[in-house]
Amino acid sequence: MLAHLTYSAAGFVQTAYIAYPKDFLQPDKLGNKWPGFVYLRGGMRSVGMVKQEWLVRFAKRGAIVIAPTYRGNEGGEGREDFGLEDRADAFAAIRLLQSMPFVDAQRTTVYGFSRGGPLALFCAMEPSLSLQAAIIHGGVVDLALTYEQRVDLRRMLRRVTGGTPTKKAQAYRLRSPIFHIANVHTPLLIIHGKQDIQVDFSHAALLAAACESASIPYTLWLLQNEGHHLHPLDFDILTDRMYDFIHSQAPSPIMAISFSDL
């Protein structure tokens, strides 16, 4: 079942989608309540909107799934941001999910894709959310690096931050989780395609190195022959593996893998 809802975040009315597994009114196999799963989408404005098929994909594995649309989108109030003001939208969506009587707040995982990656990391830095795990898939970790690598995004980034990384260094730093990794309280799963040309693999490499330096538990899955987006059948396989990771809660070594390995 899929629904669209409104909720409050930092004084603004925001919107989100929520998806339920088929038998959500019955206890799940691991306890009396269902795990929670937070899907933080990629893109800006109409590019990369919440994908309803992803919601269904995540929910059918046995979780209650919420996906905020972010401020300024799909009826949400406020102006869209990138990794700063929109953190409140993600935090509030997680708290809403965890407050539901059929959700086990202690078994809540956040999944951030692309632009949602930094939001997922900032969620993992918020101890009051008590997340079980955070999954960063093709995520941006350094906004100034994105400005350097993606010429086509520079106008949007200047609009969001107020200028270039040279002129607005603090605005870029505040939105870049790589500079705040020591604050992470949650085991991380980092997933990145080696052939990704939208968010370069260097972001995942930086994140893994920062986790190593700060002794943050993490697992890195390097998808050898994949880009930013996966074929739906491959994404199904990856989703199964992500849920295996959530249930195991055991960080493993860095792995360079292909879908024949999954």
First-to-last alpha carbon distance for the chain, in angstroms, is 28
pLDDT of 253:
52
Q: Catalytic: which of 114, 137, 176, 203?
A: 114
The list of the chain residues with pLDDT below 70 reads 27-31, 46, 249-262
pLDDT of 258:
56
The question of whether 203 is a catalytic residue gets the answer: no
pLDDT of 27:
59
pLDDT of 76:
76
Residue type, 198: Q
pLDDT tens for each residue of 106-119 = 999 999 999 999 99
pLDDT tens for each residue of 167-181 = 999 999 999 999 999
The question of whether 213 is a catalytic residue gets the answer: no
pLDDT of 196:
96
pLDDT of 79:
81
pLDDT of 2:
86
Q: Pull the structure tokens for residue 231.
A: 């074929």
Name the CATH architecture for the domain at 2-141+176-257. Answer: 3-Layer(aba) Sandwich (3.40)
Q: Catalytic: which of 130, 180, 202, 228?
A: 228
Where exactly are the structural domains of the chain?
A: 2-141+176-257
pLDDT of 262:
53
For residue 136, give the nearest of 125, 144, 147 by alpha carbon: 125
pLDDT of 77:
77
pLDDT of 41:
93
Which residue's structure tokens are 């941001």? Answer: 81
